[in-house]
Structure 1
Amino acid sequence: MPDFFTTPDGLRLAYDIAGEGPPLLCLAGLTRNMDDFEPVVAEFSRRAQVIRLDSRGRGGSDPAPDPLTYTVPQEGADALALLDHLGIGRAAILGTSRGGLIAMSLAATAKQRLAGVVLNDIGPVIEPAGLSAIMDYLGRPSAYRSFEQAADRLPRALGRDFPGVSREGWLRYARRIWNEGPDRLENRYDPRLREAIEVQSVTGAVPDLWPLFDAFAGLPLALLRGENSNLLSRETMREMRRRRPDMIAAEVPDRGHVPFLDEAESVTVLSAFLDRVGAR
């Protein structure tokens, strides 16, 4: 069962801690939750204190009264509030997708709180095709009546980008992102996230995130990219490696957006990253 803490603006957020060692704060993607990091707990809780947070409006955390507080800066402030609650001065961050954007924001505003960062399929350039794919499902009801039906149909929906995933793998995936409801599987996030994203993107202006990436200078840094990702391009990955030749990086075969973190490449990158963080 998760633990809970209260943010300065009064929301009750869920978190979990497993293991001992250097603190590794895991921040999930836009609509996802701490269960995405189950493989990290299983593999690394003997080497790190794995801290998993459900951002506001996701998983077991309270929805925000005002959906316009679903922003990267606010969620970064929530992450720091959790570290303060736990009495942790500095932590490494494993950020999946939006979680990686939160890490970039913190590098620019609270770098002294970071011990290093792993970016899971996210970078300073976000591809329009990936954003479009997210908006296709964001805030929409699930199409599946049960976990078993989802496991049967997900290969047709996502199999092009995630070939070779077993039925058991799809069943684990489904259980991480939906809850059972009376008639169909239900999303584990506040559907008003869609409203927040639409409002935030109304100008159509795309901010330059390269200065935020460059703010990682001096910190241990690692990157995972799904081979079939539609959000993080190979070109962006190459430029990230050019700017940070010391960055630990790997492309994960047969994965789109995002790698599951149980792949051999993911485990190798995370292991090397924790070696580097532990050596500081």
Structure 2
Amino acid sequence: MPHKVTQPATAYSTKFHLGLGFHGFHRIHYIEWGKASKFNTQETLLCVHGITRNARDFDYLAKKMCKDYRVVCPDVVGRGDSDHLGTDEGYNYLQYNSDMNALIARLGVTEVNWIGTSMGGIIGMVLASLPQSPIRRLVINDIGPEVARDTLLSLSENMEPKEDFDTLEDVEAYFRVIYEEFAPMTDVDWKHLTKHSCRRTSKGKWRLKTDKCVGEAFRKSITYLNVDMWEAWDQISCPVLILRGKDSSFLTEEVAQRMISTGPETTLVEFENTGHTPTLRNDEQVNVIADWLKST
């Protein structure tokens, strides 16, 4: 009798859908967690990463949540295993918003619960502010409607094009510097982040999975003013959970307090000894999200 292979409860599948921009079509890679047979009865949890990150940042959260939710984690274009455009012209929020809307349509759902880290939070805020938005509940991980220009300039320095690395250990050492505010992070977490953030080249080197043009586009987008999305914030009508690292360089305490006193019904949770961003890689942070989703 042939051996029967049983898929674990935390099994995931990798898929692609097509996005469309002025440059033409591009493939968006996404990961779907849980048992496909349950998808038609489960709420969808859509998790979108930060500007230089990828879908695998949500592995810990997805494993914990996929018993109760259909968890979908995309690589935004230019990151992870999605297509790289090779030009900075397509790396903007108009394209990101369009791609995520196409993904929601691909999933065949009319509502989603959105978890957005940094850039993913900005995309979520924009989509949630629009009429007839499919976002039912919004979790924003360490970002707000206002970001100081100096903070953006500091981030742009970490997005300078990098040569290929000789070893995985070199890549990890680099990440430990540029992501020093990430918390909590164990040695296992750093190895996981490193493994899924680079690939081996034909010459045996290690190359980051973020298109170099992403950084070029970001630098061009910085103006002489702070980011100001307060008008969009006031248009959001769904419940919002804000996660903030108390040592965050992106979401200041002043902005966070203004967010809970204006706009939508908002809950703020802060984490000690954490900067930008809470990594959602431990039970404390994930349980906050799970409990809030259940309570709303």
Q: Same fold (TM over 0.5)?
A: yes
Contact 2:130 2:235 (8 Å CA) reproduced? no
**Which runs of 5 or more residues in structure 2 are unaligned?**
1-12
Spell out, residue by residue over 1:140-161, the C-alpha distance to the aligned partner (whole angstroms, 9 max, x if none): 21685323344467556655x3
Residues 34-43 or 107-116, more deviating: 107-116
Determine the C-alpha separation between the residues in 2 that align with 1:150 and 1:8.
32
**One-letter identity of the residue aligned with 1:18:** W
1:39-78, aligned counterparts within 5 Å? 39-64=60-85, 66-78=87-99
Shift of 1:195: 2.1
Distance verdict in 2 for CA 1:215–1:70, change over 3 Å: same
* Aligned with 1:169 (options 183, 189, 199): 189
Determine the C-alpha separation between the residues in 1 that align with 2:115 and 2:101.
14
Determine the C-alpha separation between the residues in 2 that align with 1:164 and 1:30.
19
Determine the C-alpha separation between the residues in 2 that align with 1:6 and 1:153.
32
Give the number of equivalent residue pairs. 274
- The structure where helix makes up a greater share of residues is 1
Determine the C-alpha separation between the residues in 2 that align with 1:91 and 1:102.
14
Shift of 1:134: 1.5
Give the structure-2-normalised TM-score: 0.83
- The structure where strand makes up a greater share of residues is 2
Give the structure-1-normalised TM-score: 0.87
CA RMSD of aligned residues (A): 2.5
Partner-residue secondary structure (3-state), 2:51: coil
- The answer for the alignment partner of 1:8 in structure 2 is 20
Spell out, residue by residue over 1:32-81, the C-alpha distance to the aligned partner (whole angstroms, 9 max, x if none): 11001101111100111111111111111112265222111220111010
- The answer for the alignment partner of 2:152 in structure 1 is 131
Partner-residue secondary structure (3-state), 1:112: coil
Determine the C-alpha separation between the residues in 2 that align with 1:11 and 1:245.
34
Say which one has the larger Rg: 2
1:1-280, aligned counterparts within 5 Å? 2-9=14-21, 10-19=25-34, 20=39, 21-64=42-85, 66-141=87-162, 144-151=165-172, 159=180, 161=181, 165-181=185-201, 182=203, 184-201=205-222, 203-217=223-237, 219-243=238-262, 246-277=265-296
**Which runs of 5 or more residues in structure 1 are unaligned?**
none
**One-letter identity of the residue aligned with 1:11:** H
Determine the C-alpha separation between the residues in 2 that align with 1:98 and 1:6.
21
Shift of 1:17: 1.1
* Identity over aligned pairs, percent: 26
Partner-residue secondary structure (3-state), 1:270: helix
Determine the C-alpha separation between the residues in 1 that align with 2:165 and 2:273.
24
**One-letter identity of the residue aligned with 1:119:** I
Runs (4+) of structure 1 moved beyond 6 Å?
none
